[in-house]
C-alpha cells in the first residue's frame, strides 16, 4: 500500500486532535443506591467530563452496592479530572446507599478541595395518593363457621358481609 504524499504547503499534525480542557472547578455527582454507585464529574456548566460506576470498575452482583465499590468508582472518575487540572469541586450526593460516605472519603483522599457537599436525595413532601382499600367479601356460610369459632365479632357481621382490610 502506498503512503500518502504530503502537500508542499502543509505542516502535518502538530499536537493531538482532541484538546485537553483545563478545568479548575467542577461538580461531582454521587448517586448511591443499594444496588450500584455512579459517580459523574461535570464542569460548572453541566457538561460531563468523566464518569464511573461500580459496574464499570468490574464489580458484579451484590458487590456493586458495597462501600468499597463506591470508593473505587469515585477514585477512577476523579483521576481523569485531576489530570485536567481540577482543584475545587462541589459535591451533590443523591440516594441512601452504602457508598455515600465511602465515595466522599475517596474524593477527599485524592486531594480535591470541596467547596460544599449537598444532599439532593429526592424526598416526597406529601407523596402520591394511596390506593383504595381492598374489599374482601365473606360468604354467609363462612360467617356461621366464624361465629362458632368466635373469630369475627358482631360489628363485622352487621356491615353487609364486607370487611375492609
Retrieve residue 102's grid coordinates: 465511602
Q: Chain-centre distance of CA 98, in angstroms?
A: 11
Q: Which CATH number fits domain 25-119: 3.30.420.80, 2.60.40.420, 1.10.3720.10, 3.30.1340.10?
A: 3.30.420.80
- From 96, 101, 94, 77, select the one nearest 26 (Cα to Cα): 77
- Its pTM stands at 0.66
Annotated domain spans of the chain? 25-119, 135-164
Q: What is the pLDDT of residue 18?
A: 61
Query: Would you state the pLDDT for residue 40?
Result: 97
Q: pLDDT-based confidence at 2, cuts 50/70/90?
A: low
Mean pLDDT to the nearest integer, 104-129: 91
pLDDT value of position 41: 96
pLDDT, tens digit, for every residue of 39-76?
999 999 999 999 999 999 999 999 999 999 999 999 99
What digits encode the pLDDT tens for the residues 137-154?
A: 655 655 555 555 555 555
Neighbours of 51 (CB within 10 A): 16
Amino acid at each position: 500500500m502506498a503512503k500518502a504524499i504530503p502537500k508542499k504547503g502543509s505542516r502535518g499534525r502538530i499536537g493531538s486532535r482532541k484538546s485537553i480542557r483545563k478545568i479548575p472547578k467542577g461538580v461531582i455527582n454521587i448517586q448511591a443506591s443499594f444496588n450500584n454507585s455512579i459517580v459523574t464529574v461535570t464542569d460548572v456548566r453541566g457538561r460531563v467530563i468523566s464518569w464511573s460506576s461500580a459496574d464499570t470498575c468490574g464489580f458484579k452482583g451484590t458487590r456493586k452496592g458495597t462501600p468499597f465499590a463506591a470508593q473505587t468508582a469515585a477514585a477512577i472518575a476523579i483521576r481523569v479530572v485531576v489530570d485536567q487540572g481540577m482543584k475545587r469541586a462541589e459535591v451533590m450526593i443523591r440516594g441512601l446507599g452504602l457508598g455515600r460516605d465511602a465515595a466522599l472519603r475517596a474524593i477527599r483522599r485524592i486531594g480535591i478541595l470541596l467547596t460544599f457537599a449537598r444532599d439532593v436525595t429526592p424526598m416526597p413532601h406529601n407523596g402520591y395518593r394511596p390506593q383504595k382499600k381492598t374489599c374482601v367479601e365473606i360468604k354467609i356460610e363462612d360467617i356461621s363457621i366464624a361465629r362458632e369459632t368466635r373469630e369475627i365479632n358482631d360489628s363485622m357481621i352487621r356491615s353487609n358481609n364486607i370487611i375492609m382490610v
